[in-house]
Amino acid sequence: MAFIRELHHQLVSKERSAVEITQDALNRITQLEPKLHSFLCVTTERALAQARAVDAKIAAGEEIGPLAGIPVGIKDSICTQGIPTTCASRILENFIPPYDSTVTQKLAEAGAVMVGKTNLDEFSMGSSTETSAYQITANPWDLSRIPGGSSGGSAAAVASGECPIALGGDTGGSIRLPAAFCGVVGLKPTYGLVSRYGLVAFASSLDQIGPFGKTVEDAAVLLGVLAGHDPKDSTSLKVEIPDYTQFLTPDLKGKKLGVIRETFGEGLDSAVEQTVRQAIQQLQDLGAEVQEISCPRFRYGLPAYYIIAPSEASANLARYDGVKYGLRATEAENLLDMYTRTRTCGFGAEVKRRIMIGTYTLSAGYYDAYYLKAQKVRTLIKQDFERAFEQVDVLVCPTAPTTAFKAGERTADPLSMYLTDLMTIPVNLAGLPGMSLPCGFDHLGLPIGLQLIGKALREDQLIQVAYAYEQATPWHQRMPAS
């Protein structure tokens, strides 16, 4: 498994060509896809054309950036001009966007090679990539288990070596959870740091695009290309973007870390707790000052999220009506019947469930009782984080309460599925950056994730803490047998 730095060195030294690197990735996808199902669409011709363009630049003596010629997978909720973008839903089965998202445009300009669109939970609604209308992605460490969700295809593709880096989207943990379950690095940036233009909306006040990589350095390099102001996104922040790779230092002296008390206790798997506590001890050994911090409203994140996110989804998904684009039901008797038939056959059960919850909480008589109250709780959660960051630089906790569970194990029980996001959701509600990185394995050989949470726009601190831990441990060098 080559990392970005190695691949870049091979390219500039002409040890390998971009076409050779891309072909190797495409060959691995062909080899693994029958059992993994990470990709909904493989863009072979486009990938090879992009690789040839990089080789031509090298041959002409031009300097290339760190992502030039590097294969990347794109979550299929991110618009790609001329290439299907389905959100893993039947309702967008034949949708081909007439434009590129800002992030895919930036990647193309950086010379990255898009090898395909990765599988996800339908419209990013799920924690296991099982609600996809097309296929269930397997976890590369154990094919009978799920890779996490909603960006499970991207995490599985990176973990298995189908591509070195990938893009995901994170609304309530959809980058960090699959990163933890698949043993890779996943970073959810500060809300507004990366443009959402061209990301198909689930919950607009929570959604954020971010990177997956095998190493902290790979995620930092990718974030550096993605981040920046975009006038096409009204929530995009006008801030200076640092070179994130300058924070890849192994020294943690003077860094103050806070362990979130409320994330340990009932419901936390004993192997996860033990491994995360060992990781915290390792951070302390590296020179960090560690103390326990209370975020008393942390546990209210889950109920608040499952009112706010479905409410926003209900409004966002109203556009899929069979009129403008996507699926249209035939044999309808009138317009209302066409709407009903289109949505009945176009949306899966989980998406319908969330639309109904959201429509209910926004309806007259219930808005104040549910939606307004959830927004107030969101403010309290944000205040808890602000108080915590008066004492420490970075917060630490498990990414998920358990390791990856078996496919089908929780599909009949939506509540137990929702509880998977218990540790990740509060970060989205507060708009903060969060990162998951591998910190060990349980007795079944399944990866365990350590979550780092930072102040707004302090991705640099997350990268520094994560890199120091990663360099002192072997977890990022392990590959699944598949």
The CATH number of the domain covering residues in 4-258+391-477: 3.90.1300.10
CB 342 within 8 A of CB 390: no
Q: What is the pTM of this model?
A: 0.98
In 206-250, which ranges are E strands?
A: 209-213
What is the amino acid identity at position 263? Answer: T
Q: In what side-by-side order are the strands of the sheet with 434-441?
A: 39-42, 113-118, 71-75, 165-169, 209-213, 185-188, 434-441, 447-454, 394-398, 256-260, 289-293
CB 43 within 8 A of CB 162: no
What is the amino acid identity at position 377? Answer: V
Biggest alpha carbon–alpha carbon distance for the chain: 70
Check residue 246 and give its pLDDT.
97
CB 137 within 8 A of CB 166: no
Check residue 203 and give its pLDDT.
97
Low-confidence ranges of the chain (pLDDT < 50): none
Check residue 386 and give its pLDDT.
98
Q: Give the whole-angstrom CA distance, residue 220 versus residue 428.
A: 20
Check residue 324 and give its pLDDT.
87
Measured CA to CA in angstroms, residue 24 lies from 31, 47, 75, 164, 215 at distances of: 10, 12, 21, 11, 20
CB 262 within 8 A of CB 302: no
* Residues forming the active site: 75, 150, 174
**Ramachandran category for residue 393: left, alpha or beta (phi over 0 → left; psi -120 to 50 → alpha):** alpha
Domain ranges across the chain = 4-258+391-477
Q: Give the whole-angstrom CA distance, residue 112 versus residue 115.
A: 9
Per the DSSP assignment, residues forming a β-bridge with 292 are: 259
Count of alpha carbons within 13 angstroms of residue 120, beta-carbon side? 35
Measured CA to CA in angstroms, residue 103 lies from 31, 50, 75, 120, 130 at distances of: 28, 16, 11, 18, 26
pLDDT tens, position by position, 188-230: 999 999 999 999 999 999 999 999 999 999 999 999 999 999 9
Check residue 481 and give its pLDDT.
87
CB 196 within 8 A of CB 208: yes
Residue written as token pair 């120091």: 468
Cβ neighbours around 298 below 10 Å, total: 22
Tokens in use for 40?
A: 């909904």
Check residue 482 and give its pLDDT.
66
First CA to last CA distance, the chain: 12
What is the amino acid identity at position 71? Answer: P
pLDDT tens, position by position, 147-188: 999 999 999 999 999 999 999 999 999 999 999 999 999 999
